[in-house]
A and B are shown apart, each in its own frame.
Chain A
Amino acid sequence: MKASIEIAGVDAAMVVFEAVVDKHINQQVHVLREMVIAAQPTWLSDAVAAYHTLLVVYDIQRTTYAQVQQFLQSQLEQLQHQKLTNKKATVHEYFVCYDPEFGPDIERVSHVTGLSIDEVIQRHSEETYHVYTIGFAPGFAYLGDVPEALQVARLDTPRTKVPAGSVAVANQQTAIYPRTSPGGWNIIGRVAGWNEQSGLRLKAGDHVRFIPVTMQRFLALESGASS
């Protein structure tokens, strides 16, 4: 597993693995992040895992880049000897209503992919998704991989307002919009009982499953969630 350590800012270093979107590599990034945090270096300010990169923010009053680089190098060496995948990922399950009222793009996705709406729902919900990274907005989790048959490009023109809890797809990724915001992904459904805190419970490396529900069940779950 090759990785390099680079300057990423006035107070930041970046560990860069092979530049591909790959679950195995992404998992290494998450394990490295946990190792860095577990080592509790006094200078550690933040550690952010993305697909193939780990940003490490450090306190320049307590350390130097050279020391951080050396520390990360030794963590990388330990990572090579570590057995991965023995840790069980946390699984989050969400009830999703794929009705066009909540998924205004589901008909378009069906048209573009040549799948029926029922097949779109089936393909989207039969997968267990991996949280590659969280970013863009608080609690916005990039989930993958969307089955190839269901992959659709982003919208040409982003919407100015996507409701919180909307489930969306774009290329090999799927996501839940954590709060009402602009967005350019294809909206295919809505999570029942979602609130603005829900996204913040997701962590990179977790797993996510979507369970299709009818409009009736969705409304029952919504009223249950708000009472």
Chain B
Amino acid sequence: MTSYPALRIDQPGLLTTLQDWGRFGHLSQGITRGGPIDERAFLWANKLLGNTATAAQLEVTLGGLSVTALKTSYWVVCGAPVTVTKSQQPIPTWEVFRVNAGERVRIDAPERGLRSYLAVAGGFTARPVFGSIATVTRDGLGGLHGDGKPLQSGDELHAGSFESAQVVPFRRPQHDLIPRVSSTTELRIPMIPMAQYAQFEQHAQQSLVQQNMQVTAKQDRMGIRLQANQPIAWTQPQIISEPLPLGAIQIPPDGQPIVMLNDCQTLGGYPKIGVVSWSGRMALAQATAGTALRFEITTLEQAQAEVKQAYRFFNLNL
């Protein structure tokens, strides 16, 4: 496959990683999936560029990324509301733009939210490790050099070839389709009761959905710790470690829930009370510390219907 030199990292910011859709089929070796935390923003970026749905992008956490284009191409930035500049001129996010070789693009710290996705026409390329170039720092897998390291100043990234006829500059989603990131309204997080749910006492089941919780600063690509005024009490003996699904809500001994994200370990020893739906997980992907949320119970049917709809819309066939 031909590829072209796409960009050079001048400043990586706090944490910029290369992510494709993730590493699948290796959970039994203890290898987690990785991939974009905000899958919706990621899928939008590829859709707008006419890339395949899973083409690799840069996931930029809390901004601070500065890059230089190495070839004329088309790019887009989706995700958190953020100021993006090209040659020091602000340009809109969620809209495909043309970039010329030598131009500098900068993503500032987001006004709200956490993560931005920089996608280029053709998608970034790198040597896949276990079938994926998704960067998982804790597994030491993926990324530009295959060793799980985040991107650093001076790194040069290549991208796959693309048909410029396919790329439509200025293409952006209808305004009402761009997911809103709010830090003031309380998030509604749909969840399906599962695993040890029935073994929690009734008051614990109730306090899960009858109180507002807060997102804390203790969060990364593995998971998000929440703060609940009334801790969720587990009164049974410790459980034996089990496979840990994406989106699981774990209850550690202090009763403060942890929602597991893409880089979570493959096994977990804490009881689980539920699993967050896709839209719930996408909302949490941009939730900064202090964001209020409330869990609400949904059904598996509903949770699956929304994922199927999204996959159809984004033309994602795995």
Q: Are A and B a genuine interacting pair, yes or no?
A: yes
Asked whether A136 and B245 contact (CB < 8 A) given A6-B194, A46-B24, A50-B267, the answer is no
Segment 239-275 of B: residues with Cβ below 8 Å from A = 239-243, 245-248, 265-267, 275
Known: A10-B304, A134-B30, A135-B265. A19 touches B241 (CB 8 A): no
Is B154 an interface residue, CB under 8 A from the partner? no
Residues of chain A within 8 A (CB-CB) of B138 are: 137
Q: Is A214 an interface residue (CB 8 A)?
A: no
B262 CB, nearest partner CB in chain A, Å: 13
Q: Kindly identify, within residues 1 to 34 of chain B, every residue whose CB is under 8 Å from any CB belonging to chain A.
A: 24-31
Indicate if the CB atoms of A135 and B25 lie closer than 8 Å. Answer: no
B30 / chain A contacts, CB cutoff of 8 Å: 134-140, 178, 199
- Which residues of A lie under 8 Å from residue B31 when comparing CB positions? 138
Query: For residue B275, which residues in chain A have a CB less than 8 angstroms away from its CB?
Result: 8-10
B139 adjacent to A138 (CB under 8 Å): yes
Distance of A66 Cα from B28 Cα, bound (Å): 24
> CB-CB < 8 A to B278: which residues of A?
10
Given contacts A8-B275, A53-B243, A138-B141, contact A46 B308 (CB under 8 A): no
A133 CB-CB contact with B under 8 Å: yes
Q: B50 to chain A: closest CB distance in Å?
A: 22
Q: Is the CB of B266 within 8 A of A135?
A: yes
Contact with A along B194-206 (1 / 0, CB 8 A): 1100000000000
A65 within 8 A of B: yes
Residues of A within 8 A of B266 (CB): 48, 134-136
Q: Which of B26, B195, B267, B307 contacts A11 (CB under 8 A)?
A: B307
Given contacts A53-B243, A138-B141, A179-B140, contact A204 B307 (CB under 8 A): no
A126 close to B (CB within 8 Å): no
B311 in contact (CB, < 8 A): yes
When distances are taken between beta carbons in the complex, the residues of chain B under 8 Å from A20 are 240
Query: Chain B: which residue is nearest A142 at the CB level?
Result: B241
Interface string of A18-49 (1 = CB under 8 A from B): 01110000000000010000000000011111
Q: Which residues of B contact A14 (CB under 8 A)?
A: 195, 242-243
Contacts of A135 in B (CB 8 A): 30, 241, 243, 265-267
Asked if residues B28 and A9 are in contact (CB atoms below 8 Å), the reply is no
Which of A54-62, A74-82, A115-123, A184-192 contacts the other chain? Answer: A54-62
Contact with A along B30-48 (1 / 0, CB 8 A): 1100000000000000000
Contact with A along B130-168 (1 / 0, CB 8 A): 000000001111000000000000000000000000000
Q: Are A10 and B303 closer than 8 Å at their CB atoms? A: yes
Instruction: Say yes or no for A7: interface residue by CB 8 A criterion.
Output: yes
Is B288 an interface residue when CB atoms closer than 8 A count as contact?
no
- Roughly how many angstroms separate A54 CA and B194 CA in the complex, as a whole number? 15
CB of B192 closer than 8 Å to a CB of A: yes
Does B174 lie at the interface of the complex (its beta carbon under 8 Å from any beta carbon of A)?
Answer: no
Q: Once the chains bind, are B304 and A55 in contact (CB under 8 Å)?
A: no
In the complex, are the beta carbons of A48 and B303 less than 8 A apart?
no
Nearest Cβ on chain B to A220's Cβ, whole angstroms: 28
- Within the complex, the shortest CB–CB distance from A170 to chain B, in Å, comes to 12
Kindly list chain A residues whose C-beta atoms are within 8 Å of the C-beta of B300. Answer: 7, 10, 65
